[in-house]
Amino acid sequence: MSDIIEWKDDYLVGLGETDSQHKRIFQLLNRLAAAVDAGKNRRDLPYILSDVLNHFRYHFTSEEVYLKDHPDYDVHHQLHCDFTEKARKYEEQSKTDEKFNFKETSNLLADWLKDHILRYDVKYFQDLLEKTVIESID
């Protein structure tokens, strides 16, 4: 079985802590997909999904500390809020809906993460690193 989301250097934002958090979420998404593929007990899958989504939430809080000085911070914060609300609904539905599609959800989360990092995170962090508002920490 191959990973549903593969790390590439294109996803590096230039701040070690954030890059490590992104990599960890990639690992957790792959763990969720592997559990689904392995036929893991449906009672366990909501807990694995919750673990993934908790890491997303932790990451957003951490990332926003660095991005607070970016001129488009409000846009970025709203993207995180919108995602968090969708994730909350996924999480709730996964616990109550016997037909909840964990495979589809893990793919949606992976696609959102890749797009978000490439479209927003890389640009925002590069803007701040260029202005030395934050310093690269590897």
**Residue 33 domain flag:** yes
pLDDT of residue 136: 57
Asked if the structure places residue 136 within a domain, the reply is no
Q: What pLDDT score was predicted for residue 66?
A: 93
- Residue 9 in domain: no
Question: Which domain CATH number covers 48?
Answer: 1.20.120.50
> Residue 136: left (phi > 0), alpha (psi -120 to 50), or beta?
beta
Residue with tokens 């793919």: 107
Total domains in the fold of the chain: 1
Cβ atoms within 10 Å, residue 69? 12
Q: Does 47 reside within a domain?
A: yes
Give the pLDDT confidence score for residue 39 in this predicted structure: 82
Mean pLDDT of residues grouped by 10 in the chain (138 residues)? 87 96 97 90 89 97 95 97 96 93 94 97 93 60
In a domain, 91, yes or no: yes
Residue of 60, 49, 58 whose CA lies nearest to 120 = 60
What pLDDT sits at residue 103? 92
Look at residue 132 and give its three-state secondary structure.
Answer: coil
Q: Is residue 23 domain-resident?
A: yes
Could you tell me the CA-to-CA distances from 17 to 12, 24, 44, 46 in Å, in that order?
A: 11, 11, 29, 27
Give the domain range for residue 97: 14-130
Q: Can you list the alpha helix ranges (DSSP code H) found in 12-68?
A: 16-37, 45-67
Q: Is residue 6 part of a domain?
A: no
Give pLDDT, residue 2.
65
**Domain membership flag for residue 2:** no
